Amino acid sequence: MISLTTPPRGEHLASVSTVAEIEAAIARLPPEQWEEIRRWMDAHAPSSPASEALEAFRQLQAEVGLSSERATAWKDAVAAGRR
C-alpha cells in the first residue's frame, strides 16, 4: 500500500509538486502500485458540473425511455422553436 501524503518505501513520491514531477515519480513506481494510484485518483477526483449534468440526463433518458433518435428529434424541435 502506498500513501500520497507520506513518501512510500524508496521515496518514489518524495517532494513532488508539479505535474511533471508527479508524472515522473509515478513512472518510477513499480507497476503493481499504478493500480493503487488509479484507485486513489478515482476515489478522490472532484465531480464536474458537466459530469453531473450528463448523469442527470442519462437518468432522465432512462426514466422516459428517450431513445437516441427521439433525443435528436427533440433537440431539433427545440432548435427550430428558437428560430
Q: Cα separations (Å) of 77 from 38, 47, 51, 74? A: 42, 31, 25, 5
pTM: 0.37
Domain ranges of the chain: 9-44, 49-82
Whats the size of the chain, residue-wise? 83
- Going residue by residue through the chain, which has 83 residues, state the pLDDT in tens, using 9 for 90 and above: 455 554 455 555 557 778 888 888 888 989 889 889 888 888 887 777 777 788 888 888 777 776 667 777 878 888 888 77
CB within 8 Å of 2: residues ≥ 6 apart: 8, 12, 13, 29, 33, 36, 37
Q: Are 12 and 25 in contact (CB under 8 A)?
A: yes
